Each structure stands twice: as structure tokens, then as C-alpha cells.
Chain A
Amino acid sequence: MADTNSQFNSRWLPIALALPQLLLIFLFFYVPIYMAFFWSLSLERPFGGGAEFVGLQNYARVLNDAEFWKATWRTVVFMLIGSSLAVILPLILAVAADRRVRLAYPARNVLVWPKAVAGASIGVVFLFIFNPFIGILAPLNEVYPGLWQPGLDGTDAFIMLIIAHVWGGIPFNFVILLAGLQAVPQSFHHSAAMDGASAWRRVRDIQIPMVLPQLFLVFVLEFTESVTAAFGLIDAMTQGGPGGATTLLVYKIYVDGFKGYDLSGAATQSVILMVFVLSLAAVQFFILERKIRYER
């Protein structure tokens, strides 16, 4: 590299320039991953001290635990519903903004604001909004007492979690999809209009196929992110309750590790979660992306 690339005289300069970043990635990404693998294969004592190598015993224990499977199931449900909504809703908004419906311009700005808000803060805000006594859904309870009880009803809590998650996901996905839609040349709209396609037909036949690369990107990011990003929301809103209804895998890991001091169990589940996320992304890339490559 050094002899073909004339921009750097020394072979060490580029490496030195990249070193701080490499160091950070190494310290905060690869080391923890390595530690998690290591811990998942050993029995850690809650207050430190000698670890004991136990092979795959931790995995056997975790995989035989009904709670683990429940949390995994909730994670999958959350991922499918939450991510789909977090992509479809911004898609609808982006199509509307691209068509320059009324108020599209102010909406475009307002829609980007949530991006600046941290997950936990979103959680706190939504906790107020969805408060059964003072929130926006409180009137529901006056008409049908007990209809909206996120503090008591697991389904309500789960719905609340998904709404908060989707809301937080709108800005990024909206911006990406809108950029994709706006890159579709005007002449395609004209051409399809001449071909007799109605506005809706054009969305379906022309616009969505042409933003498939962007849709694919946001789906991949959403799917992989929703699995872990829910932590801040859960911690701020429900702490996994009521009755464990919102205990997704990522929150269970935290509870097991830091509340239950089951470090090995938590590490094992972390490794499983990581493998799950990685294979998810890999499947999406290898299978889906192949189908949507075309030139503009």
C-alpha cells in the first residue's frame, strides 16, 4: 500500500492517524465481546474472584430456561411490529412530504426533532403522555374504566413501548426515505402519469420500487437496532413490567447481570443476542440485497 499510495511517504503515518479510532473500537467493542465470550464459558463469582471454566454449561442452563425463551419471543415480536411500523410510518410520511401535500415543509422540520432526543428521555416523556390518569389516553378510562392501564396490563405496556420506539425511529428513517424519493427524477412521475397510472398506482409501481435500496437500508438498521435500542425505553418506562410483559432479552440481560448478579448467565445471553443480530443482518444482506440491485 505504502509504495502505491503517494499521499503518504511513511508506512506508519496512516496507521498512526487511524490509531485513536482503532484503539477505541478495540477497547469498547472487541474487548467486551471477547470478555462476554470468555464469561459465557465460565462460572463467574458475583463479587469477583476466581472464575471456573465450565464449557457449554451456561448455554445449556440458559437454553433450558423458560424465561429466556419468553424474553426472546417478546424481542422477536417487538422487533417485527416495532421495526415494521418504524419503517412504514416514515415511508407514508415521506411519500406525503415528497408529494408536497399541505404543511409538508413545516412537518419535514418537526419530524426531524425526535432524532435529537435520547431513548431514555423519550421514555420519560411518553410515560407522561400515556399516564392513565393525566395522559392523552386518560379520557378513555373515564368512558371505559380500565381500558388503558399500561401500569397493570402487559399488552398496554407493550403497546406503549412500541409507540415510543416507533416515534423515536421516525426521523432517521423519514430523512433517508425522503431523500430517496426526492432523487426519483420528475420525468418518471410524468411518464407514469402519461401511462395512466393514478397517484397511488405511481407510489406502488414507481416510487417504492425506486427507493428499495433506501427501504432495505432502514429495514436492516431498524431490525438490528430495535433488538438492543429498546433498553433505554424499557428502563425509563416499565422496568420490564408489568409482570415481565416488557422484559425483552436486552433488558433481561441487564436484570440478570446487574440485579441478579448472574454474570455468566447474562454474558451467555449477550453472546446469543449478538449472534442473533449478526445472523439477522447477514441474512438480510445476502438474500435481500441481491434482488434489488439495478441501475437508475
Chain B
Amino acid sequence: MQPASIAAEIALDAVEKSFGNTPVIPPLSATLGAGEFTVVLGPSGCGKSTLLNMIAGLEPVSAGRIRIDGQEVQDWEPKDRGCAMVFQNYALYPHMTVAENIGYALKVAGIARAERQQRVEGAARVVQLGDLLDRRPGQLSGGQRQRVAIARAIVREPRVLLFDEPLSNLDAKLRHGMRMELSHLHRRIGATSVFVTHDQVEAMTLADKVLILNEGRIEQFGTPHEIYHFPASLFVAGFIGAPAMNLIEVEGDGTALRLPDGTALAGSAHRGRAVLGIRPEKLRIAEDGLPATIVYREDLGSHAVLVVRLGSGQEINVSTPLGGDTVAADQLSLHLPEAHVHLFDPASGQRLNVTQGQVR
């Protein structure tokens, strides 16, 4: 298999979708760079599959334009768009052998048998399927089916590779393996890839860029680093990271952010109500600071997650290295490093502190 299929840029221009009267995707615009691996991440039912199907041509757009490599394709047939897709349940044709499954697109395209066989074998080699070509899908394991589905997608050397939750049917260990393989495969093939998932680990590990979707709207579109360290909204802040970012309602008086009972959490020039966000692993255990009571402790081997209760009664997560001074204690005091504090508008959910906290 030649390493470079011609990668293509995908431009979504005010793409809209509604089923009947139900709007699923309000006008949405984004540009997915050529050769980039974009992960579309969002909760169930937010329109990820719908978006992918519109790019593939399996769902018509209600309005807007989709350009692949500069050409407007929203009215084209799926086969003309140069996309290939890997489906969640693999959708391998049960009555065809593995080789026939992989080669079906080539057969439909009228490619001669000899070349077809050569390309099928090439694609099978890429995903290490060599000796399974004569089997039926029913005789394969989940991981092997996954490979067949990927081989079937790459055999046509598509400009765009689309994945709809391809790993969600695999067990945790296999998932990790396939993640690595997909990552390698992407680098080798170089096609523009769009990968839909609701698993944030997949998103963080695979993506060049993550597109976070919520009820059809883009919450944030950025690198995994940006998404994690500078969440653009409360939704992103709460969605990314495990355990999730602590979100605390505070009031700013121009010098500090205070809990309702007046306790100062961190210094800030902000005035008025806000939601303070801080990741569990960014909280420091300090000599003197915010007093907190430990209510629950989870030892995860590499680190421990403590659930602590603040004076206001709110419970937050603290992630600490194991051992040390927290083991026996049931009281501790916390320090919130100002650089790691995120501030969000409680009404709109948008990020408030644009410049603050930009620590890499």
C-alpha cells in the first residue's frame, strides 16, 4: 500500500441538520485540516454520528455547505466524495469472506481481479490480517473484525477516513492496543481522519484536534492540550478529565474569590459571581490554607483521590501522590495555585479569565 493517499481538507460551512421539526445541529462551521486526525467528542445524542454521516453523504444536510479539498460535496453521492468509513458495529457483510469484504468496493468500482487481490492483500498486511482472508466475519474475534473493517476502509486509499466509535465494542485492553495501532496507521496513511467517540481518553490520545460537541453546537475546537488546560466553557471543563474538574460557585470582590461564607479561595481581580474551576491534581496540600475534612479516600496505586468537604459544605476531589502526610490525617488544608484557576460565567458558561492560568 502506498503511504500517501492524498489527504484533503474538510470545510464545514454553516452546516445544519434537523430531522423533521427537531433541530439536531444548528449552523456549524469548522475546518478540519488536511491530514489531521480530528476527534469529535461529545455526550450521547449530541449529533456526532449525524455530523459524520453528513460528511460521508449518508445523511443529507438541511442547509449549509461541505467542502472537501475545496469542492462542494454536500449534494454528491457518498461514493464520489472519496471518504471511507469504519462503523461502530463494523457492518461486515456476513455472507462474504474477509477478502470479499475488503475488496467489495474495488469490485463495485470494476477493478480487475488481479489488481483487486493485490490491493486486498496490501490492506490486509497493513492491519496484520494476512492469514484470515478466507474466513467469514462470523468466525472472527472482535479485534479481528475491527481490523477487517479498517482494511476495508483503507483499501480504496480514501482522501478522508471516517470512524464512528470504532472501539466501543472492544474490551479495555484491546481498546488500548487498537488506539495505538490507529495512531500508527494514521501516520502511515496520512488521510484526513475524523473519529467520533464519547470516550475522552480516546480523544486525548488520538487527536491532533478535538472538536467538542454539545447539543449540536461546538463547545471548543482545539488541541488536546488546549482543551485540557484552557477549557472554553463550563461544559468542556466538566466533560474533560477524570476525576472531573472541581467547580465551585464563588463571589469576586476585586481582590479575592470567596465562598458564600466569606472564605477566600484565591486572589483575583474579578468582581461579581463566577464559577471557579480547578483540576483535582492542581490542588496543593499546604501548611496553612483552606481547611477541609477528608470524607473518602480512593487509593489507585499510582495516586490517591480524596473527596474532601470544604467549610461551606461543598465536596471536591483532590488528587495526590500516594503516601506522605495525608495517609492518616482526616483534616488537611488546601492551596489553590492562582495560575491553575479557571473562571467561568455562571449564566453563559463561557470562560472569563482569558489570559490567566496559561501555564504549560
- Which of chain A's residues have a CB closer than 8 A to the CB of B108? 195-197, 201
Binary interface encoding of chain A residues 184-203 relative to chain B, with 1 for a CB under 8 A from any of its CBs, else 0:
01011011111111000100
| Chain B residues in the interface with A (C-beta under 8 A) | 53, 56-58, 77-79, 83-85, 87-89, 91, 93-95, 104-105, 108-109, 136-138, 152
Please determine whether B79 and A295 come into contact, CB atoms closer than 8 angstroms: no
Q: Which residue of A lies closest to B89 (CB)?
A: A187
- Which of chain A's residues have a CB closer than 8 A to the CB of B94? 210, 294-296
Please determine whether A294 and B136 come into contact, CB atoms closer than 8 angstroms: yes
- Which of chain A's residues have a CB closer than 8 A to the CB of B137? 295
Please determine whether A195 and B89 come into contact, CB atoms closer than 8 angstroms: no
Please determine whether B79 and A193 come into contact, CB atoms closer than 8 angstroms: yes
A201→B108 CA distance, assembly (Å): 8
Q: How far is the CB of A45 from chain B (nearest CB, A)?
A: 58
Q: Interface extent on A, as a size class?
A: 20 to 34
Q: Which of A195-227 contact B (CB under 8 A)?
A: 195-197, 201, 205-206, 209-210, 212
Please determine whether A195 and B87 come into contact, CB atoms closer than 8 angstroms: no
Assuming the contacts A201-B108, A294-B136, asked whether A194 and B78 have C-beta atoms less than 8 A apart, the reply is: yes
Assuming the contacts A187-B89, A191-B85, asked whether A196 and B79 have C-beta atoms less than 8 A apart, the reply is: yes
A196→B82 CA distance, assembly (Å): 10
Assuming the contacts A185-B91, A187-B91, A210-B95, asked whether A194 and B83 have C-beta atoms less than 8 A apart, the reply is: yes
- Which of chain A's residues have a CB closer than 8 A to the CB of B84? 194
- Which of chain B's residues have a CB closer than 8 A to the CB of A195? 79, 104-105, 108, 152
A116→B196 CA distance, assembly (Å): 49
A294→B139 CA distance, assembly (Å): 10
Assuming the contacts A187-B87, A294-B138, A295-B138, asked whether A194 and B56 have C-beta atoms less than 8 A apart, the reply is: yes
A187→B91 CA distance, assembly (Å): 6
A252→B180 CA distance, assembly (Å): 74
Q: How far is the CB of B156 from chain A (nearest CB, A)?
A: 8
Q: Which residue of B lies closest to A193 (CB)?
A: B78
Q: Which residue of A lies closest to B104 (CB)?
A: A195
Q: How far is the CB of B310 from chain A (nearest CB, A)?
A: 48
Please determine whether B95 and A209 come into contact, CB atoms closer than 8 angstroms: yes
Q: How far is the CB of B140 from chain A (nearest CB, A)?
A: 10
- Which of chain B's residues have a CB closer than 8 A to the CB of A205? 93, 104
Q: How far is the CB of A218 from chain B (nearest CB, A)?
A: 18
- Which of chain B's residues have a CB closer than 8 A to the CB of A296? 94, 138
| Chain A residues in the interface with B (C-beta under 8 A) | 185, 187-188, 190-197, 201, 205-206, 209-210, 212, 294-296
Q: Is the interface of A mostly helix, strand, loop or mixed?
A: helix
Please determine whether A190 and B87 come into contact, CB atoms closer than 8 angstroms: yes
Q: List 26 A-B contacts (CB under 8 A).
A: A185-B91, A187-B88, A187-B91, A190-B56, A190-B91, A191-B87, A193-B79, A194-B58, A194-B78, A195-B105, A195-B108, A195-B152, A196-B78, A196-B105, A197-B104, A201-B108, A205-B93, A205-B104, A206-B93, A209-B93, A209-B95, A210-B95, A294-B136, A295-B94, A296-B94, A296-B138
The 8 closest A-B pairs by CB, nearest first: A295-B138, A196-B79, A195-B105, A187-B91, A191-B91, A209-B95, A196-B108, A187-B87
Please determine whether A194 and B104 come into contact, CB atoms closer than 8 angstroms: no
Q: How far is the CB of A288 from chain B (nearest CB, A)?
A: 15
Tell me which of B56, B108, B152 has the highest count of chain A C-beta atoms within 10 A of its own C-beta: B108
Q: How far is the CB of B132 from chain A (nearest CB, A)?
A: 16
Tell me which of B56, B79, B84 has the highest count of chain A C-beta atoms within 10 A of its own C-beta: B79
- Which of chain B's residues have a CB closer than 8 A to the CB of A210? 94-95
- Which of chain A's residues have a CB closer than 8 A to the CB of B109? 196
- Which of chain A's residues have a CB closer than 8 A to the CB of B136? 294-295
- Which of chain A's residues have a CB closer than 8 A to the CB of B152? 195
Q: How far is the CB of B86 from chain A (nearest CB, A)?
A: 9
A197→B152 CA distance, assembly (Å): 14
A188 interface neighbour in B53, B77, B91, Cβ under 8 Å = B91
Q: How far is the CB of A73 from chain B (nearest CB, A)?
A: 36
Q: Which residue of B lies closest to A196 (CB)?
A: B79
- Which of chain B's residues have a CB closer than 8 A to the CB of A209? 93, 95
Q: Please give 19 more A-B residue pairs, beta carbons under 8 A apart, in addition to A196-B78, A196-B109, A205-B104.
A: A187-B88, A187-B89, A187-B91, A188-B93, A190-B53, A190-B58, A190-B85, A190-B87, A190-B91, A191-B87, A192-B93, A193-B78, A195-B152, A196-B79, A197-B104, A206-B93, A210-B94, A294-B138, A295-B136
Q: How far is the CB of A205 from chain B (nearest CB, A)?
A: 7
Q: Which residue of A lies closest to B164 (CB)?
A: A187
Q: How far is the CB of A47 from chain B (nearest CB, A)?
A: 60
A196→B155 CA distance, assembly (Å): 13
Q: How far is the CB of A290 from chain B (nearest CB, A)?
A: 14
- Which of chain A's residues have a CB closer than 8 A to the CB of B89? 185, 187
Q: Which residue of A lies closest to B158 (CB)?
A: A194
- Which of chain A's residues have a CB closer than 8 A to the CB of B104? 192, 195, 197, 205
A209→B94 CA distance, assembly (Å): 9
Assuming the contacts A201-B108, A294-B136, asked whether A194 and B95 have C-beta atoms less than 8 A apart, the reply is: no
Q: Which residue of A lies closest to B136 (CB)?
A: A294
